[in-house]
């Protein structure tokens, strides 16, 4: 049975992960953390997530529970994620990271940790989104040079980063297929008299409203036709189940930086 530590356990995704672990036959909750100073420290993690008593009490860090878990699942903030990696480096743990919004410098630090720690790092743990990335590369090869390309994404009002990490990953997949640098060709929003659209650009549009879990569409529009590849998530459980699937897969991997495409390329555990 895989023992899992959840960081940021009191957040929306943290609670969803605890629910998914309780429902899983292959994993169990071994440790759970909240921010230092949180009023929830010492509260039963299962009860906090509405899953009944678990016997696992919320802690303010990973260091004091190193013998209680095999893998860390981290959907927090870039700064917190890197601190968590620091605290378990060299301790024989594996890590699933769903945090988004890393700077280039922070990504370099993450890659450094991956030299000694098996890490799956993905902007989205949905199997459907992972498949969509593969479809987007095919569409870009066939239609990309002749199409205007736009990425439209929508999330709940509480999401702090924009565009979403998934939207950026989709844009990167298309840009790389076309031999473009996304940093150079991305356009984030339009306003005023901008003139005609440049064909080399990839546009991004962002919606933040209500309780939208996550919706992404990549549009390839040419003269006379358009192709839309869309993924809609109706429950965070799809991300939680994907993260657990990744955690089970990662136990047999050497140190390195992996993503969900590596995970779904292998038979489901």
Which residues belong to the active site? Answer: 155, 159
The CA distance from 159 to 258, in Å, is 25
Sign of CA dihedral 88, 89, 91, 93: positive
The CA distance from 37 to 41, in Å, is 8
The CA distance from 57 to 51, in Å, is 13
Instruction: Single out the residue of 261, 81, 73, 82 nearest to residue 172, CA to CA.
Output: 261
What tokens does 42 get?
Answer: 């010492």
The CA distance from 206 to 188, in Å, is 9
Query: Which residues does 177 contact at the CB level (< 8 Å), separation at least 6?
Result: 136, 137, 140, 141, 144
SS3 for 203?
strand
């Amino acid at each position: 049975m895989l023992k899992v530590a959840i960081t940021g356990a009191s957040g929306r995704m943290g609670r969803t992960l605890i629910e998914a672990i309780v429902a899983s036959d292959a994993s169990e909750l071994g440790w759970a953390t909240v921010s230092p100073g949180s009023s929830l420290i010492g509260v039963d993690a299962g009860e906090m997530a509405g899953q009944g008593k678990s016997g696992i009490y919320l802690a303010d860090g990973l260091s004091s529970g190193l013998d209680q878990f095999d893998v860390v699942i981290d959907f927090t903030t870039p700064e917190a994620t890197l601190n968590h990696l620091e605290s378990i480096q060299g301790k024989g743990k594996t890590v699933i990271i769903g945090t988004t919004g890393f700077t280039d410098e922070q990504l370099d630090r993450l890659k450094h940790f991956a030299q000694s720690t098996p890490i799956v790092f993905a902007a989205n743990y949905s199997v459907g989104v992972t498949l969509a990335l593969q479809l987007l590369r095919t569409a870009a090869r066939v239609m990309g040079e002749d199409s205007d390309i736009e990425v439209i994404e929508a999330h709940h009002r509480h999401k702090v980063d924009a565009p979403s990490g998934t939207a950026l990953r989709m844009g990167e997949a298309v840009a790389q297929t076309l031999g473009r640098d996304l940093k150079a060709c991305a356009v984030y929003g339009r306003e005023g008299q901008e003139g005609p659209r440049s064909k080399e650009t990839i546009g991004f549009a962002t919606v933040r409203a209500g309780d939208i879990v996550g919706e992404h569409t990549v549009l390839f529009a040419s003269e006379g036709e358009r192709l839309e590849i869309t993924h809609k998530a109706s429950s965070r459980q799809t991300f939680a189940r994907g993260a657990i699937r990744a955690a089970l897969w990662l136990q047999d991997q050497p140190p390195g930086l992996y993503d969900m495409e590596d995970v779904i390329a292998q038979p489901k555990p």
